[in-house]
């Protein structure tokens, strides 16, 4: 940075690991990251096949794919890339996990959709579709806890959330609600799949992620509390 920025305040959070990570720990974290991203993508596919409505960001991706040659997964990647660029403009630099999140969730989604696994669920009894939706929420919660717990960088949406909260002096909750609401509105205008499942997802995803954070001994920031206590 130049001399003119010497007195400027540092960003609240960069989501980039600054300490050196031992090789064996890095390998374990990378495996955890990849497993989490795959499970997150699998959960998204479950919610898509349930045909009861999808998450706000997936509504936006669905709307984009309707009006472009992009696949659903490619739309997810494009959205993630845009969010990372916006966050960088606000001073939030992506970590390796952020970039992996942007690329791999969309890729995994397209691969899973190409297998036609569960494609007939949309014609199943409502009970099975509800179970599929809730199963997707549980799997996304597990995947989220795994990839966040890898501590290799937050997802693009989390980076944007912190950027907006910091720039406009908002609470994280308010920032997240505004961003999710904007994504949902834009996706709905584009014709994305909005339904009761969208509301169910909004109400249940928090408890799902919280449950797995507790199971893995993680604090709200994603760090393992148990591991830190053992180190003292």
- pLDDT tens digit string along 186-216? 999 999 999 999 999 988 888 888 899 888 8
> What's the pLDDT at 40?
96
pLDDT at 79 over 90: yes
Q: pLDDT category, 153, cuts 50, 70, 90?
A: confident
Sign of CA dihedral 208, 212, 215, 219: negative
Q: Quick one: what percent of the chain has pLDDT higher than 90?
A: 50
> What's the pLDDT at 10?
41
Tens-digit pLDDT profile for residues 90-123 = 888 888 999 999 999 999 999 999 997 766 776 7
pLDDT at 16 over 50: no
> What's the pLDDT at 157?
84
Q: pLDDT category, 222, cuts 50, 70, 90?
A: low
> What's the pLDDT at 80?
95
CA distances from 147 to 31, 159, 223 (A): 9, 14, 11
For 105, the token pair is: 């969730």
* Rounded distance between C-alpha atoms, residue 132 and residue 206, angstroms: 18
Q: pLDDT category, 19, cuts 50, 70, 90?
A: low
Other CB atoms within 10 Å distance of the CB of residue 52 = 23
Q: pLDDT category, 221, cuts 50, 70, 90?
A: low
For 146, the token pair is: 């795994």
Residue of 13 and 221 predicted with greater confidence: 221
Q: Is 133 in contact with 196 (CB distance < 8 Å)?
A: no
Please report which helix (H) or strand (E) contains residue 170, including its range: none
């Amino acid at each position: 940075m130049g001399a003119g920025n010497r007195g400027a305040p540092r960003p609240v959070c960069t989501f980039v690991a600054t300490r050196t990570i031992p090789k064996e720990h890095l390998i374990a974290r990378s495996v955890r990251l990849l497993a989490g991203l795959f499970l997150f993508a699998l959960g998204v596919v479950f919610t898509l096949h349930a045909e009861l409505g999808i998450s706000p960001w997936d509504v936006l991706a669905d709307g984009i794919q309707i009006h472009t040659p992009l696949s659903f997964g490619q739309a997810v990647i494009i959205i993630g890339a845009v969010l990372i660029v916006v966050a960088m403009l606000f001073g939030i630099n992506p970590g390796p996990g952020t970039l992996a999140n942007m690329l791999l969730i969309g890729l995994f989604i397209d691969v899973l959709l190409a297998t036609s696994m569960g494609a007939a669920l949309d014609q199943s009894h409502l009970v099975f579709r509800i179970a599929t939706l809730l199963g997707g929420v549980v799997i996304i919660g597990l995947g989220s806890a795994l990839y966040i717990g890898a501590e290799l960088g937050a997802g693009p949406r989390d980076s944007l959330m912190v950027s907006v909260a910091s720039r406009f002096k908002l609470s994280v909750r308010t920032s997240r609600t505004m961003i999710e609401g904007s994504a949902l509105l834009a996706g709905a205008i584009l014709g994305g799949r909005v339904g009761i499942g969208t509301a169910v997802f909004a109400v249940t995803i928090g408890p799902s992620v919280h449950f797995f954070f507790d199971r893995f001994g993680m604090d709200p920031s994603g760090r393992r509390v148990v591991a830190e206590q053992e180190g003292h």
